[in-house]
């Protein structure tokens, strides 16, 4: 028997959980300043005061959410007087969905999905917080999705000004924005009370990525399974995208490819094969958050060549029967979330003809839409 071959009941993974995307790593390096700023901002809540609100910005996969969850975890060990809630705004992208998530955290039961107004739920949440005399800290992860649906100002206004209607309520908000190059503007009545501590999470540099990936290798695999050459090939790929999640997913897929070959070591070829699936991970996840009609529109754009707005609308309307206003809103959203470029060409009536182009390779978009 070849000693380099893996037996059917053997594995090269020492702890595969380390490579899951929702895993909260013990080793969280190269974000010390961000962690300290978060802790400083939330510290007043440990003394029964309202915390300083925070705004975390940076490209996808740069540790923003992990930093918040690490601080939540640490603070839970020292106090029971703060309730921490993380809301994934990709999934909960309406005002009602956000308050429902908070309600579930407080009462350990989901509210009715219909027949109950936002105001009624919010009232129950606020009155309960006053009754138990605890501070609520809400992290709105990917709040940009609330902007796309037009609910960001409503959600922020309700939470930030709750104490005006319910004296004694203490709520702090952490907003996490994952878009690059896009500045979101809140309504002045929100901005005047939000006043956040701004925390930037820049892309990891090559050395930092190498260190983080090395640590995941150390805890995820048995010794000598992943060579330095293989690790660095993975780091090369992650450095192209700037998204650490691609690297974690790539490690997992590469290991599974090696096991499929019954190999005790991961090869560069395993990495190359895995990259094709991993590189589209963020794009596919983002596309899944779109509504069915938005995906239909994106598919039409990916299949067309420099589609003009009028022609695109005609095709879209034939499939969905939706009106032009809704279509126009969807084009603007796809442009805002950087799936497409929607530029005015200067041609046509009054020079307002719009050319819609996909920002990603059309075949990659279509693959994620399958």
Distance of CA 29 to the CA centre of its chain: 20
pLDDT tens by residue, 308-321: 788 899 999 999 99
In the structure encoding, which two tokens stand for residue 66, read together? 């992990």
pLDDT at 179: 65
Contacts of 103 (CB under 8 A, 6+ apart): 110, 111, 121, 124, 125
Banded model confidence at residue 153, pLDDT cuts 50, 70, 90: very high
Name the phi and psi angles at 173, rounded to 5: -125, 135
Delimit the domains of the chain by residue range.
Answer: 32-200, 204-279, 293-362
Class of domain 32-200: alpha beta
Domain 204-279 has CATH 3.40.630.30: no
pLDDT digits (tens, 9 = 90+) for 49-91: 999 999 999 988 899 999 999 999 999 999 999 999 999 998 8
DSSP state of 16: G
Is the pLDDT confidence value at 159 over 50? yes
Maximum Cα–Cα distance for the chain, whole Å? 77
pLDDT tens for each residue of 301-350 = 998 866 778 889 999 999 999 999 899 888 888 887 778 887 765 554 44
Find, among 261, 216, 226, 227, the residue nearest to 20 by Cα: 216
Q: What is the mean pLDDT of the chain?
A: 90
* 195: confidence class by pLDDT, cuts 50, 70, 90: very high
Per-residue pLDDT reduced to its tens digit, 10-19: 999 999 999 9
Q: What is the mean pLDDT of residues 290-298?
A: 91
What pTM did the predictor assign? 0.84
Residue 3 confidence class, pLDDT cut points 50, 70, 90? low
pLDDT at 182: 56
- Measured between alpha carbons, how far is 292 from 297 in angstroms, rounded to an integer? 9
- Tokens at residue 216, please? 């995941």
Determine how many CB atoms are found less than 10 A away from the CB of residue 114.
6
d(CA 118, CA 98): 10
More confident residue, 217 or 183: 217
Residue 39: burial class (beta carbons within 10 Å; 0-12, 13-18, 19+): middle
pLDDT at 120 over 80: yes
Q: With 60 as the cut, is the pLDDT of residue 132 above it?
A: yes
Architecture of domain 293-362: Orthogonal Bundle (1.10)
What pLDDT score does 349 carry? Answer: 46
Q: For residue 1, what pLDDT is reported? A: 43
Three-state secondary-structure class, residue 261: coil
pLDDT-wise least confident of 198-202, 275-279, 288-292, 329-333: 275-279
For residues 328 and 222, which has the higher predicted lDDT (pLDDT)? 222
């Amino acid at each position: 028997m070849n000693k380099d071959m893996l037996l059917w009941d053997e594995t090269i993974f020492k702890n595969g959980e380390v490579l899951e995307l929702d895993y909260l790593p013990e080793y969280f390096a190269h974000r010390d300043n961000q962690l300290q700023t978060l802790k400083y901002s939330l510290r007043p809540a440990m003394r029964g005061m309202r915390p300083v609100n925070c705004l975390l910005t940076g490209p996808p996969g740069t540790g923003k959410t992990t930093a918040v969850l690490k601080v939540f975890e640490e603070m839970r060990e020292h106090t029971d007087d703060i309730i921490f809630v993380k809301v994934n705004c990709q999934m909960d992208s309406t005002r009602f969905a956000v308050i429902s998530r908070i309600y579930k955290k407080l009462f350990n039961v989901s509210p009715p999905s219909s027949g109950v107004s936002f105001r009624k739920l919010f009232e129950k949440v606020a009155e309960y917080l006053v009754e138990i005399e605890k501070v609520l800290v809400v992290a709105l992860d990917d709040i940009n999705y609330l902007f796309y649906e037009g609910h960001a100002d409503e959600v922020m206004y309700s939470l930030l000004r709750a104490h005006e209607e319910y004296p004694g309520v203490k709520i702090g908000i952490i907003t996490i924005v994952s878009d690059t190059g896009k500045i979101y503007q809140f309504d002045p009545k929100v901005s005047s009370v939000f006043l956040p501590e701004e925390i930037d999470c820049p892309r990891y540099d090559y050395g930092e990525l190498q260190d983080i990936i090395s640590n995941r290798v150390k805890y995820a695999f048995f010794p000598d399974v992943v060579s330095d050459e293989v690790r660095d090939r993975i780091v090369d790929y992650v450095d192209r995208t700037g998204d650490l999640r691609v690297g974690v997913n790539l490690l997992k897929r590469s290991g599974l490819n090696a096991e499929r070959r019954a190999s005790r070591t991961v090869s560069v070829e395993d990495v190359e094969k895995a990259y094709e699936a991993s590189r589209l991970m963020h794009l596919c996840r983002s596309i899944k958050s779109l509504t069915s009609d938005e995906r239909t529109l994106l598919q039409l754009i990916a299949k067309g060549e420099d589609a003009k707005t009028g022609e695109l609308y005609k095709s879209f309307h034939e499939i969905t029967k939706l009106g032009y206003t809704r279509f126009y809103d969807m084009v603007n959203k796809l442009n805002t979330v950087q799936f497409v470029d929607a530029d005015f060409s200067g041609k046509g009536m009054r020079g307002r003809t719009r050319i819609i182009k996909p920002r990603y390779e059309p075949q990659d978009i279509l693959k994620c839409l399958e």
